[in-house]
Every structure is written in C-alpha cells, then in structure tokens.
Copies of this chain bind each other. A is one copy, B any other.
Amino acid sequence: MNKKYIGIREIAQLAGVSIATVSRVINGSSKTSDEVRERVNSIIEKYNYVPNITAKNMFSNTSKSIALFILDLDNPFFVSLVKSINKIAFENKYTLLICNTENNTEKEIEYLKYCEGIRTKGVIFTEGHIKNISWNKLHNQTCVFHDRQMSEAFSSVKSDNIKGIRLLVDYLFNLNHRQIAFAGYDKATKSVTERKQAYVTALGEKGITVPDEYIFSGDLKAKTGANAFDYFCSLPNRPTAIICANDQIAIGFNQRANMIGMRIPDDFSLVGFDGCNTEYFYPKITTIKQDINLIAQRLFECVVSPADQPKHYIIDVSLVIGNSCKKLNE
C-alpha cells in the first residue's frame, strides 16, 4: 500500500527518452514521433503517472488555493455558502481552505499566518471580528469581504439588505401590521446593523416610529429567537409581527412559542432572512431569499481574478412567502 508516485524523470528513464520528450508528450506537442508517444504513454498508463499540481503551482509562488473565513458553521446560511464556494473552487481546480474561526480573534490571526505559509491566492472574509490586522502585510494575497467592507482597498459582496427588509416591512404593512418588532440586532455585525437600520427607516417612511423596546439584541442563533419570544411576550404593548435578523432566530422563536402552546401565525406573525434550508419547518417561514450561488460566484471571482479597482457588489434578493404571517383586521 505504500507505492510511491512516479515522476517525469522515472518515466523518461523507463521509456529511454529525455525528460524534455516526456514533457512534450504530456503537453500534447506534435514534435514527437508516434512510436515515442505511444511508448511514453504506455509507461504513463502502466505506472499511473499523476502530475504533481502542487509542484507546478509552486514556481509561481502562489498555490491554487483560496481560504474562506467563517465564524459559524452551525448556521445553514454559511453551510450553503461553503458548499457553493467549494463547488466553484473545485470546478476551477482550486483548493478551498475553510478557516472556521468561531469568532475567535487569535484563531483568525493563526489561520491568516497559515494562509501566508501555504501561499493562498486569496482570502474571503465573512463576518468576523478581525479588525486590527495589518492588511498591507497580506502580501500578494487578494482579500474580499462578504457582508462588510473593511477598507476601500478591497472588494466586497453583499446582499441587498435594504431592499430585503423593505419587502418584509411592506408585506407586513399590507397585512395591516403596525406593531412590528425586530429580533437579533447585534451592532458588531454589519449586515444585521444594516437590516435593523433599514427596518427603522422603512417604518419611519410609513409614519411609524419604532419604540426602543421593539428592538431585541442578540446573535444570529436560534436561542436568540427563544429569548426574543419571552421578551416580547413580557411587553405591555406586545408587537403583532416580528422581523427576525435571520431564519435561525425565527426558528427559535417558533419553537419557543410551540413549547408554551402558542401558535405562529395565530399569536405572532413571523418573518426571517436568508431563505435556506427551512423547508421542513412548520409553519413555513416567510423570508428573504439571498442568492447564495451568485454571492459565491462573485466572491470567488474577486479573489481569483482581481480587477484593477476594487468592486462592490450588491446582490439582489427576493421575498419568499410562507405561512407564518396572518392578516389583521383593519
């Protein structure tokens, strides 16, 4: 079981030709006779020669690898993003290094050093806490940011959070909801801050001032939804609809409601954000679908074929109506 890979040198020896000739055969040059080509190819086949991609890439002093910094692999949105980028990377013969940072700054820095060591071509950063990195120390790595923009010098890709929240607010407004709350605000998370702000603005344009007590802070996990449920139930002036910063929060909210015998949408109308992997939840959550494949494609392009000037992509979103909202009497 411990056979070694055969190299181009051994093939040349076995075929009784020069290394240059083997190279010509491998690269499909016509400057070899049929007889030599067949001899070399039969040896390649017999010994199952596989070109060493790593060695080939090494001479350019970058490897055909990119890194993806992710802080929460338990979140289905990020799992979908990993899957999508992984697929694109593989199709383009890139290796994807997944840096699961768990929101730990030390781990982020350690991973970055490692990326430099293996000469990744570029790094995709999703939400995270990296702030004090000397970006200019990242040599010839191309960085791109998902859902945040660290500096004008780097490209970024994000969903149209503002449009998404507007779609949700309009939808709830048309169902006659006026007491609309927000669950899962985290000022450290750029996308969520943008969603929260868009929620305040969209309601403001409809003449509704959001009371402070209608904004519940927390991270993007299901637990935040469960806590938000308890909190909103405790308010004297209960909201009738909840916009959750993501679907996980909506799921947690719904579970908690079920647990104490309340029902969505009878007791609360509920909407989420992300639109992935919630198909087997009941009720089906009305949400904003992010175009994960397009996000992945743009992120990949930005690291692998960087433009002269950084680009800032805002990806379109769409409303997916489930059955988690009810119409109120006017």
Contact = CB atoms under 8 A, between A and B. Distances in A.
Interface stretch (A17-25, A33-41, A76-84, A195-203): A76-84
A136 B47 CA distance: 11
Given A52-B61, A52-B117, A73-B83, 18 more contacts: A1-B140, A3-B139, A5-B116, A5-B119, A53-B114, A54-B63, A54-B117, A55-B58, A65-B95, A86-B98, A90-B110, A90-B111, A95-B95, A223-B279, A251-B280, A256-B282, A259-B282, A259-B283
A280 to B, nearest CB: 4
Given A83-B73, A259-B282, A117 B277 contact: no
Q: How many copies does the complex hold?
A: 2
Contact of A281 (B50, B65, B255, B279): B255
Interface in A237-278: 251-252, 255-256, 258-259, 277
Contacts of A259: 282-283
A223 B61 CA distance: 47
Interface residues of A, number: 65
Contact of A140 (B2, B76, B99, B221): B2
B74 A79 contact: yes
Given A100-B86, A280-B222, A117 B4 contact: no
Contact of A52 (B3, B114, B119, B142): B119
A311 interface: no
